[in-house]
Amino acid sequence: MTDSNRGTFNALMESRQIISSAKDIFIYLKTLKFLNKMPSAILYLW
């Protein structure tokens, strides 16, 4: 690997990590909204 290729590769890996963490946050927020709408279901699951 040349240095420029390695830099591009590192940048791609970093952006992929950022995208995946953004997806995690999105899923987390959707889950929170879902749970806020369904308190009775939460009580049932407990």
**Domain residue ranges in the chain:** 3-45
Which pLDDT does position 33 carry in this prediction? 87
Taken in order 24, 28, 29, 33, the sign of the CA dihedral is positive
Question: What does the block give as tokens for 27?
Answer: 């899923």
Show pLDDT as tens, one digit a residue, over the chain (46 residues): 578 888 899 998 899 998 899 999 999 999 888 878 777 766 776 6
